[in-house]
Amino acid sequence: MSGNVRLLDETLAAAKSEGRAALIAYLPAGFPTVDGGIEAVKAALDGGADVVEVGLPHSDPVLDGPVIQTADDIALRGGVRIADVMRTVREAHAATGKPVLVMTYWNPIDRYGVERFTAELAEAGGAGCILPDLPVQESALWREHAEKHGLATVFVVAPSSRDERLAEITAAGSGFVYAASLMGVTGTRESVGAQAEDLVRRTRATTPLPVCVGIGVSTPAQAAEVARFADGVIVGSAFVKRMLDAPDDAAGVEAVRALAGDLAGGVRRRD
């Protein structure tokens, strides 16, 4: 069965044709429970997100700040497994028809088996994978299987990436390019900064792929700011924090839905 890379491409192109950036939400699988996490992902998509990244919880998430680390810890203590991640992808995509990717570090895929992981992700209706710690020069095996199964391979670029390195990374990727807005881990910030706009400009010079900005975006105003220059706006910690701060799981799901609606308004803002 083929994955949904084409759906991802069409979704990002549709947002561009509407003169706006796409809204991409991130939520970890298994948080606060497997069932609760599925409901949260569906709420983000129903609320206004165009695409969702489902995080595969990791014990040492080097790119992630304390908010997502806390959620990952809750999911891991709850016994979340890769099968639960696949179930989250399957049910969220089936319920909404929207593209769902997995964001994961390389070690769990390496241990699980590349062919097994890509085949199962495609079967679940997944659109691809974001691999923040997989070096491009070591990615041939992954890319071979991802392409065979119709999955996007999304790599991360950072403000520190030199232009030659950007060209190397973007040439190997598909779906979109994840542009980290600043050096550091995920989390909410007071401002996103000029570094992100410069990184998008330099990345676009190397590729026709959409360039989507994440890390530090948490409010509708910040989403509107980033949407002026990026093809997509990625928000993660703000969604997770709404879940952590909620009095119960149901309230957390509704808080996610409401935030998705507010952020969707931000990426459509014309002022």
Lowest mean pLDDT among 40-54, 114-128, 189-203, 241-255: 189-203
Kindly tell me the burial class for residue 122, based on how many C-beta atoms sit within 10 Å of its own C-beta (0-12, 13-18, 19 or more): buried
pLDDT (0 to 100) of residue 189: 43
SS3 80: coil
% residues pLDDT > 70 (the chain): 93
pLDDT (0 to 100) of residue 64: 67
- At 1, the pLDDT band (50, 70, 90 cuts) reads low
Question: What does pTM read for this prediction?
Answer: 0.94
Q: What is the mean pLDDT of residues 112-137?
A: 97
Average pLDDT, the chain: 92
Residue 185 has pLDDT above 60, yes or no: no
pLDDT for 163-183, tens place per residue? 999 999 999 999 999 998 764
pLDDT (0 to 100) of residue 183: 46
pLDDT for 200-243, tens place per residue? 999 999 999 999 998 878 899 999 999 999 999 999 999 999 99
| pLDDT, greater one: 270 or 77 | 77
pLDDT (0 to 100) of residue 216: 79
- At 186, the pLDDT band (50, 70, 90 cuts) reads very low
Residue 36 has pLDDT above 90, yes or no: yes
- At 195, the pLDDT band (50, 70, 90 cuts) reads confident
Lowest mean pLDDT among 81-85, 87-91, 221-225, 239-243: 221-225
pLDDT (0 to 100) of residue 63: 65
Nearest to 21 by CA among 261, 200, 210, 159: 210
As annotated, the active-site residues are: 53, 64
- At 62, the pLDDT band (50, 70, 90 cuts) reads low
Q: What is the mean pLDDT of residues 113-138?
A: 97
pLDDT (0 to 100) of residue 265: 96
